[in-house]
Structures are given as C-alpha cells and as structure tokens.
Structure 1
C-alpha cells in the first residue's frame, strides 16, 4: 500500500489588479445635439448627402448656419420655433457632418449650388415652399436661394452679413482688416489650406473668441464640436470662401444688371457694424428687396446664440408678414 501525500487545498486564483490607465482610451464625449430633434441624412445630389436635424410640426422653416459653426448654432431658436413650425436645420455641404465633395471647379461650392441643395432637401422632405433664414455663410446661401427660387422661398431672413457683391465693394482700406480671413481663403488652391490646417484650432477658435460679445454663449461642448467639424473640413470651407470671390460675384453682378430683386418679405438682422466700416447696411440691402425690414441687434456676431429670444421673435414676426 502506497502512501500519498495529502492533497493540496485548492486556492481560488484572483488576477492581481493592474494599473493600466496608460492603455485606456479617454472616454468619448457624445456630440451635442438639438434636444428633441431627430437626425437623418438626406441625399440632395448624386454625391452629396446633408446631415439634418428636424423637429416640431407646422409650416416649414429652414435654418442655415454660418462660419465657423454647424447647425448647432440654431439650438435655442430651433427649439423655440418647433412649438408651431417644422424646423429643418442642415449642415451645409462642406460643413459639419454633411458630405464634403472635392472642389473640382467653381460650381462645387457656389452659393447657387448650395442653395439648390437646400431647395432639394426641403422637397425630399415633402415641402415645396418654405421660409428660410441664414446666418453668415448660410445667409449668403439663403440670399441666393431667394433670388434663384422666388416661387419656393416664402420668407427670407439674413443675419449679420451683406450680399457677396456688396461685401467686396464695401470692404476697403484699414477697416477691411477685420475680414483678413476672406482674403486668405480666396487665394489659389494649396496655400490657404496648408496654412489653416497647420493650426486649425487656433484659426477657427480665433473667430469664436473675437466675434462674440458674450463668451458664455458658446459652451465648451459646442465649441469643441465646432472646432472638430472645422478641423475636418478645411478644404471645403476654403472652397466655399474661394467661390465667394469668383463665381458668386458673377452671379450677383448678373442679377444686379438684370434688376432681379428678392420678391418675398425679407428681414435683415445685423450688429451695429455698418457705420463703423463706413457704409450703410440698410441701404445696401434695400437695393435688393422691396419688402425689407432691417434691424440692429445688440449682441456679437453669433446672434442666434447670444440673443436667441430676439432672433426667435424676429423670425416669427417675419413669417407673420
């Protein structure tokens, strides 16, 4: 009989804790959205689909963002208007989470092309006629839509911008330094993209800082979303601006020569920067629209974020006309 040593008692194995903080990815913060709005992608051409936020019910209004922003700039105004309107907030082609086709000619990012995107977007969503408001770059698209599609745009609002042709004619001398970015981004393809990409956050963040009277109007998460979107869209943003010194001027000149004007009720809301730059903004806009109401808003450039109550009221007043 063979003796066996007593069995070694089984000891549960516990894996020692390992400090692996260095290998963990930082948590990804969710992208901000407009609360209560649905998001979808809508094809507006063979190669371009737009990221769109939609909310509310009632008569439609489309809101177009400016630079260096996305559709999120309308978050306060859109939520208010959604109480009695269907509110459609797209990212323009080349911006935000919309498609960014390569610039293969002057038409890729002309305001005429971008205006056609907006009209097609509304039609794809079942609306043949709608009110349209735009801020900054979006206002230039809205202006072109009003001239090219007068049977589609029922009411038009343009925030803190001049029509492209008037802008170039008005900027001159030392005061034109406020528009240094305009002159940079209209240069031939290559150099502006290279320079801006090299310090994208500093470049785009500069405008978020100096154009706002209220620095708290753009909270940290929204600012981060703006910078991320711009960082990923430098070539298309530059192409948008480059078109404004070429084909967009040609289109405006043709309309001015033909005497074409905005046929719908128009509201223009601006900071009090016209007098400071040596021109009368209301008079310049009056040359394009018969039924015009021009108002000055006491805030910085980002008026839909800095003064959303005023902007919402102005848009409601416009759509009641």
Structure 2
C-alpha cells in the first residue's frame, strides 16, 4: 500500500514532468529573434514593427549600443551566441569579425549589387544603406560665407573648441571619418582636427550637439543632417570638396544564433525593397538597392564628390590607427 509520502512524491514528480514538457511548448509558441544594432532605435523599431506585423507570432528583441560595444559583446558570446543578427556599422566591421558570421545566400541576392555585399559566396553579410560622411554646421551660428569647404578646413585654428567629434574607438562612423582624414592629409591633418575638437563617446551626441548650438561644426552621416533639418533644427550639410567615401552599412547572421529560423526570416525582410523603403522614409538613408529611390531633398550621388573607400584596408589598419589616435588624444 502506498504511503502518504510516496503518494506525495509521485504527484510531485508528475507535476514536474508536466511543467518540464510545457516549457519547450511555450517557447515554440512564442518564437523570437534577437537583433544587435548600432543603427539607432528609431529605424530599428520601425523595422521591428513592420516585421512583426507580417509575422505576428515572432517577437523582435532589439539591443542597441555603439558599434564597438556590439561587436565586443558578440565576440564574448561566441561560445554560446545570444543574438541572431548584427546590424552593426560599415562593412569593415564585418570583415574584422568575419569568423562570427554565418554564410547564407539570401533569396534577394540578385537585388543587391556586388559592390554592396560580401564578395565571397555564399555571402556572410549584405549591405543596407550608404552612410556618406559629411560635415554638419549650425546654420544659425555660422554664416554661409564662413562655412568650411572640406575636411582640411576643420584643422583651421579658428574652429578651436567649436567642433564635436565622436570617439573613433566607439563609433563606426567616427572611425570612417578618421580613416578618410588619414587618407586625405595624413596624421598631421588628424592632429589639426583633434586640436580643435571636443571628443564625445557617442556619434549621436556629435550631430545633436551641433543641432542644439553647443558646437558649430561636427562630422556625421548625411542622413542625420537631413533628419535634423526635417525636425526644424538649423543645420546644413557640407559635402567635402576633397571627396567623401562611398561605404555601406551591413547586416549579417550571427553564427550559431539561438533562433536560426526566425533570424533568417528577419534577415530576408531587412534586405527586401519594403524594408529599404523604410530606411528612406524613416531614416533619410540611401539604400544599396538600385530599385529604391534617393531620399527626398538629397542630391544624387553623381552630384557629390565621391572617392573610393577601401573598407578592407580600413578594417586591416583599424587596430594601429586607433592606437595612434588614442596616443594623440592622451596628449591633447
């Protein structure tokens, strides 16, 4: 005859077994995708909302941070990945962290030009937008006749303390700016700009600082200037006369991500024309897709002085360039 204790243990074990069986069922009923992003919450939430509208059973969890922070986290988790996708800065960042990415040929591979995706097949990343780097100026505080014309003008002593620049170690766009300054004028130009600039840890603080009138000039992606102007801020965009590099931001699947099916669905969506139209409408971003128009008010790339941007060299030289920059910053 079963004792009361034995009966209790039996019931408890049955309940535990039922609960254990329910856990994976609950997870299966609530699939999710985890996105690591440095693209900004505004466009990130637009993409997530549009995706979840089409895939109502999948929840998008977006984690936002600077590009350097995102990739550091992704590498730290390599043994047990917690994210499914990285939407994190220019292609040079993806080349540096190539081993963390999954090879996958998108159904929309043919819609993405060869210049804007991983050259290897199957690709480990695809381009999303073209973050052309420009000079932002507060048009209320600087008269048009006094505007700088290019990168070299930022080293003019008259701008001392009036320029804000994000830290290239923490910001992918700021590193792209540093790389272009080195190419145009070497480290002497970098020293001159650094002597005039206040360094901030966030690229967002850089362009917002100019918009708010705390600084006269800054460096940023062109889309940020057009967004601020649309919101009523007194800002102008300057395309440097020396030229600015045509580089692209990318997205890729994290190798071994916890939600591979949902991750690929979200990946395919971000590469679609509909998603790229969101980049244009919500973030004033130029799409890498030829079938997506230029954002309203922006000049065509044919009217912008462009120069080649060697993303492979930018990635290869990143370590030594940041060491030298840190040394110069410490002496500032």
Same fold (TM over 0.5): no
> Whose Rg is larger?
1
Higher relative contact order (CA 8 A, sep 6+): 2
Higher percent of residues as helix:
2
